[in-house]
Amino acid sequence: MKKAFLTLVILGAFGGGGYAYYNYRKTPPAPTVMTAVVTRGDIADTVGATGTLQAVTTVQVGTQVSGIVQDLYADFNTLVKKGQIIARLDPSVIQTQIEQARANLLRAQADVERLRVTADDARNKLKRAQELSARSLIPATELETAQVNVRSAEAQIKSAEASVVQSQASLKQNEVNLEHTVITAPIDGLVISRNVDRGQTVAASMQAPTLFVLAADLTKMQVVANLDESDVGRIRPRQHVTFRVDAYPAEDFTGIVTQVRLQPIMQQNVVTYATVIEVPNPQLKLKPGMTANVNIEIARRNDVVRVPNAALRFRPTNEIFAALGQAPPETPPRDPAGRGRGDGAAPVPNGNPSTANRPAEPRLPSSTALSASGSTPPARSGAAGNRPAADERAETAPTPAAQFPVLSNPQGAVTEGEAPTSSDRASRNGSARGGSGGDTAEGGAFGGNGRGRGGRQALSPEEREQMLQRMRARGFDPSAAGANGATRGGGRANGQPAQPQATPLADRATGATTIDALFGPLPVTETRGRVWLYVDKRIKPVQLRLGISDGQATELIEGDLEPGTEVVTNVTTGTETRPTPQGAFPFLGQPGRGGFPGGQGGGNRGVAGGNGRGGR
């Protein structure tokens, strides 16, 4: 009886434990929310590259004559002055050639004297022949022979005089070659390379051999960095550069971009462009040939609110909303034709399963709607004082068309420094397809290829009149555009895209000496984004207007965020499936809460993972 009772107790204990374990495994784990802190500081948008340090002026010193190196008066790291003798070749061979040339010159001069005597004798004979011929004492043939002899003697004298000139030139050339046996420094500088030794024979045939390499001044150097073609469009002269070298890994050196060379360099089907960076080197720490890890600063903002990029990349799924016990926001309706709406609604990506179940990001009120209502978006306290508003920056920042008025006007650009207003933005979003003209053609005259609502029909009468005045000021007739469907700045007339007029390169800037001066300024970077706050165990979206990014954080222009605010970067529900690590025994349990052996968390036998509890 006792054994039966004990057996029942043991079975009951096992049954109760199994039932409790089953309920524990059935209960979903609590979600884990990971956050990051919004901070305040500096942000710099940079482009990285690798370059090589070089001297600004490097001269290769060679020799124009062949011979044996007799003496060397300079070595590596020797400071030399212009005209200083740094090497000397053996002059014995050239001195022998000079003596031979002098002998040839003396012989040519003697030939000239001999021919002159012969010419004088021929003239005397011609004179006597003429006197005898006048008395008819000699035949006419003898007179003709005497005349021929005189002319032949004069021609021989001219040939001999040319030989004298040739001998003089040969002598002069050998004397110059003798001077070239003495190698002098062409500039003031430093010997950074010596390629010959004393007693070595150098042969100057088709190409002059290099004896020394001189650097003009190592206090001013340059870095030649190879930038990828995807980054070269953001490089402009006078941009600030910081770089490091392996010799001084903890020290930052600075420089300025001076030139972007347009000659492409292709290596393994990768196109790069050489960018020259001017670098001061007052302490002579930098050496020619060092490898520099360059960071070119494209834009910089100081003392701004910084939002972590991990928070901007976070997109909650329906599973996350379900784990938090929160209903996902509704997705706005879409146009059946797949076109974006003219009121600024964000289109939902097509054919992307990863974003099909995600809620659409709510957008900030469009600038057109704000202008139409007569109000402007309030400046948030979290971003107050960071940067001016977009319209204010558009008014103060110089535009490419204002700096270079001869350049062709881009599509929809506002020239002469005027800020884009709501009518401009409405015209950009308007239909510019031409055709029958009318209000739609005029509204999209300066627009891109927007296909939604827009044009003058979406504007108030005051805004419509302001837009027409600006169009007339730019030399565009709205009535003519409406009649024939002609558009400007990217509009379409009769279904054909309008081609922008190209200005000849020589007429763009009369005072420009290099093409670098014709590059316009970079556009202001401004995007929209969204972060999520974890408040009262619920996530709440916050719409933001963002600026530049350094890869880790992004500048906040406008948004309800303060420094120190925690934003969500990830949410783990505990139900995510994880792949089994390689080499793990498959019968010891699954990742997450652990296998049966070892209890909750798998002990030291189950695979550690997720939110597993217990174990060791």
Which strand (E) or helix (H) includes residue 270?
strand 270-280
User: Between the ranges 18-27, 241-250, 457-466, where is the mean pLDDT highest?
Assistant: 241-250
Q: 152 and 188 in one domain?
A: no
Domains: count for the chain: 4
Which of 152, 180, 208 is the C-terminal boundary of a domain? 180
Report the chain's mean pLDDT, rounded to a whole number: 75
Contact by Cβ (8 Å): 162, 153: no
> What average pLDDT score do residues 298-322 get?
93
- The burial class, CB within 10 Å (0-12 / 13-18 / 19+), for 566 is middle
Q: 212 and 284 in one domain?
A: no
| Residue 262: CATH number of its domain | 2.40.30.170
Examine residue 102 and state whether it is found in any structural domain, yes or no. yes
498-554 confidence digits (pLDDT tens) = 555 556 655 555 567 788 777 888 888 899 999 999 998 899 999 999 999 999 999
Range of the domain at 255: 47-56+217-302
> What percentage of the chain exceeds 70 in pLDDT?
64
Contact by Cβ (8 Å): 544, 559: yes
| Residue 139: CATH number of its domain | 1.10.287
**pLDDT score for 606:** 36
Q: 295 and 257 in one domain?
A: yes
Residues in the chain: 616
Q: 194 and 229 in one domain?
A: no
User: What is the DSSP annotation of 90-143?
Assistant: --HHHHHHHHHHHHHHHHHHHHHHHHHHHHHHHHHHHHHHHHHHHTT-S-HHHH
More confident residue, 614 or 2: 2
Q: What are phi and psi of 108, to 5 degrees?
A: -65, -40
Which of 254, 274, 302 is the C-terminal boundary of a domain? 302
Tokens in use for 305? Answer: 């609110």
Q: Which residues contact 366 (CB under 8 A, 6 or more apart)?
A: 343, 344, 425
| Residue 201: CATH number of its domain | 2.40.50.100
250-261 confidence digits (pLDDT tens) = 999 999 999 999
Identify any residues that bridge with 423 across adjacent strands, giving them in sequence order.
none
Under the banding of pLDDT at 50, 70 and 90, the label for residue 574 is confident
Examine residue 333 and state whether it is found in any structural domain, yes or no. no
> What average pLDDT score do residues 55-67 get?
93
> What average pLDDT score do residues 569-595 get?
60
Examine residue 231 and state whether it is found in any structural domain, yes or no. yes
Which of 503, 518, 533 is the C-terminal boundary of a domain? 518
330-381 confidence digits (pLDDT tens) = 765 554 444 444 343 333 333 343 343 444 444 444 333 333 333 334 434 3
**pLDDT score for 43:** 95
**pLDDT score for 356:** 37
User: For residues 339 and 452, what is the distance between their CA atoms, to the nearest angstrom?
Assistant: 7
Q: 133 and 266 in one domain?
A: no
Q: 128 and 141 in one domain?
A: yes
Q: 222 and 204 in one domain?
A: no
Q: 287 and 164 in one domain?
A: no
pTM beyond 0.75: the answer is no
